[in-house]
Amino acid sequence: MWRSLLFFLSLLLSVLLLTPTAQAQTVPLSATTQRVDLGGKLAWLKDEGGQLGIQEVAAARAFRPLVGELNLGFTTAAIWLRVEVARTHSAPHHWLLEITNPLHDDLRLYTRAANGSFSERRAGDHLPRARWEMDYRHAVFHLDLDTEAPQTLWLRLQSSNLVSAQVRLWQAEAFHQAVRTESLSYGLFFGVYFTILIFHLFFWRWTRESVSGWYALYVASNCLIALLWAGYLQQYSHWSGTLTDALMGSLLCNSIWIATMVAVRQMEFDRVLPRTGRALVISSALLSALFIALTLTVGYSAGVLPARLVVLGWAPMLTALATRLWWRGHAPARFFVLAFGILIAGGVLRYLRLLGQMEPSFLTDYSYEVGSIINMLVMSLAITGRYNDLKREKLAAQAALNSSLEVQVQERTVSLVDEISRREALEVDLRRALAVEQLAVQQQRDFVAMVSHEFRTPLAIINTSVHHVAQSLDTSQDKSLSRCGNIKDASRRMSDLMDEYLSLDRIEGTTQTLNLTPCDIGEVVAGVVAEWPSHLIELIATAVPPSLECDWKLLQVALRNLISNGLRHSPPDSPLLLRIQGQPGDGVSIEINDTGSGIPEDELARVFQKYFRGRGALGKPGAGLGLYLVERIAQMHGGLVTVQSTPDRGSRFTLILPGPGLP
């Protein structure tokens, strides 16, 4: 997006700086000349139909001086460049002619032999790389200047992309040295790009901060554009010009939407300018989609040119909004203005260099790349700083909540004392219920005994495995890993038991609470599935609604119990098939298919009973609560759970949750 703005700034500067008094000149080549920038020394001719031959062009008198570097924007015409060179007696015979833009479709170099005939050599994005004179990221032609007499070079360019380039003459050794330095510079440049990209991907994965995810997409898009713009992707992939034009055009058009999303998220428009933010996002997405469609169906310039025209107004508008928010004291806008202000400054410096207004140097040749790196670093600081601010606010809110809870505890302690006094007054009534109480106590003892028995086994496994690990630290890695696996399995078993007992306590308490909130049901299911090794569960999702009203914590318990039950009754390492599918009314059904021995027909009607354990569960861990909890959770959500089983082929449990569209 910002490249487009800088392109139009360059065109404006070109108009201001071009003067009709500039004169083409003979370029002297001496032994001390390592590199000659031909900007300001070329003459040019516009061939509208692209039909002129070299004989006609050589005789043409309509050539005009070209001020600065070649920068003529979008044109379907063929552009002819002419320059006259003459080497001194001590200068080397062999030179290299470099044309820096790797996106030109067709490049042709013509030289005249002593007998007056012309030779033609070709390069360009639409010519296979095997036919280029040098396998380099952009076109380079070999020149052999056999005489000291002035020689004229004619260069024909045609492109659906921007007709802009730097044209240079090099001594061969100086060129190869510059290529080595340039490769190192670009290696560092793209290394920074990839480092920042990986950082934001991990940061987004860790924090789930949407602005970091969008900025990672922005960096990835800019990195691809830079690889295409520099020619490295074409050099090493050998993709055709048609493919690279389509890719470059789509990326440039899509940058309107991506840059807008980054700006809206980073400057928190949803909080300070919600309507403006929504309008910018929707309009940028529609414009990007339209321009991409034009690029892919009509042609490169049909989509990219209007996209750049939109950017000419879009970028200043975003900058103006950011400046306004900064003026109002909105801190994120300050980082935005600073980051993209540096990027624009680097681009303007680069285009002044292309126009010949600044001497070539590392800073002027790579000012846009340096500006890009600084832009990414500043934006990275802004995004991480925003996350830290949110984290501090959350901690402060938690501290305030803790203080409030302490007050509530004190108040409830007083209430509890009053309640105890009241209960003491009702002692006579409690004695009358002694028989019932004794029965309840006995049930509680049975429950505690069962819990104690279930927890004792995994605790013994953990204790024994830890003892073995501590006593044999020098044992083989396989044995250590096996014992660690025992500890992990025992811990998971204890965790499953805790889920069952705590969930039972919540569901069967005196007040059943169901915390319904809109949630991404696909994300809830994927989160539970991720708790097991990926080879144990095959997840298939079809037409899943984007949101479902549910208590996601209870739903996680139900899913864990269904998955644990299926794995427990399946052969070792036999995967489960978990299918989640949308239902009418925006509801969902979740099927879990195992490959176990199945459930006997006489036990099917009892599998959801509390504490029931069938014949197939004998000798296996469990308390007979898992499927009971699944059914209770389904009923609390207004749904149901069913089971189908085939002996020796496995069982299918189906959990159905209704959506808001059904009564």
pLDDT at 289: 94
Is residue 418 one of the residues assigned to a domain? no
How many contiguous H segments (helices) and E segments (strands) does the chain have? 18, 20
Indicate the DSSP class of residue 127: S
- Helices 241-266, 210-230: crossing angle, 10 deg rounding: 150
What is the token pair recorded at 98? Answer: 């470099």
Q: Of the residues 455, 474, 507, which one is the last residue of a structural domain?
A: 507
Q: What's this model's pTM, rounded to 2 decimal places?
A: 0.54
Residue 204 lies in a domain: yes
78 domain residue, yes or no: yes
Domain of residue 497: give its range: 426-507
- Residue spans of the chain under pLDDT 70: 1-24, 340-373, 375, 379, 381-391, 393, 430, 433, 435-461, 463-477, 479-481, 483, 485-486, 488-490, 492-513, 614-624, 661-663
pLDDT, residue 120, reads: 93
Mode of pairing for the β-strands spanning 94-99 and 118-123: unpaired
Asked if residue 569 lies in contact with residue 656, where contact means CB atoms within 8 angstroms, the answer is no
Rg (CA), the chain: 37
CATH code, domain with 16: 2.60.40.2380
Do 195 and 293 fall within a single domain? yes
Give pLDDT, residue 366: 59
**Same domain assignment for residues 355 and 440:** no
pLDDT of residue 167: 92
Domain count, the chain: 4
446, part of any domain:
yes
Are 610 and 569 in the same domain? Answer: yes
Question: Could you tell me if 123 and 184 lie in one domain?
Answer: no
**Shared-domain flag, residues 168 and 300:** no
In the prediction, which pLDDT does 393 show? 67
Note the pLDDT of residue 415: 82
Cα 137 from chain centroid (whole Å): 27
Compute CA 455 distance to the chain's CA centroid, rounded to the nearest angstrom: 44
The CATH number of the domain holding residue 626 is 3.30.565.10
Looking at the fold, whether 466 and 532 belong to one and the same domain comes out as: no
Other beta carbons less than 10 A from residue 45's beta carbon: 20
Q: Is 291 a member of any domain?
A: yes
The rounded distance, in Å, linking the Cα atoms of 43 and 15 is 17
Q: Is residue 399 part of a domain?
A: no
Asked if the structure places residue 553 within a domain, the reply is yes
494 with 522, same domain: the answer is: no
Which pairing describes strands 64-66 and 78-87: parallel, antiparallel, or unpaired? unpaired
pLDDT at residue 577, rounded to an integer: 93
Q: Given this model, what pLDDT does residue 603 score?
A: 82
CATH number reported for the structural domain that contains residue 378 in this entry: 1.20.1070
| Residues 25 and 169 occupy one common structural domain | yes
**Looking at the structure, do residues 335 and 372 belong to the same domain, yes or no?**
yes
Candidates 399, 390, 393, 343; CA nearest to 371 is: 343
Domain boundary among 507, 538, 568: 507
Cα dist from 190 to 196, 220, 615, whole Å? 10, 11, 63
Nearest 5 degrees, angle CA 271-CA 274-CA 278? 135
Looking at the fold, whether 309 and 326 belong to one and the same domain comes out as yes
Provide the pLDDT for residue 106.
92
Which domain CATH number covers 443? 1.10.287.130
Cβ burial of 406 (10 Å; 0-12, 13-18, 19+) is exposed
Pairing of strands 94-99, 64-66: unpaired
**Same domain membership, residue 295 and residue 224:** yes
The whole-angstrom separation of Cα 123 and Cα 140 is 8
Q: What is the pLDDT of residues 44-93, one digit of tens each?
A: 999 988 899 999 999 988 899 988 788 887 888 999 999 999 988 889 99
490 vs 484: CA distance, rounded Å: 10
Answer with the one of 507, 538, 557 that is the final residue of a domain. 507
Q: Are 593 and 650 part of one and the same domain?
A: yes
Chain centroid to CA 18:
42
Residue 403 maps to a domain: no
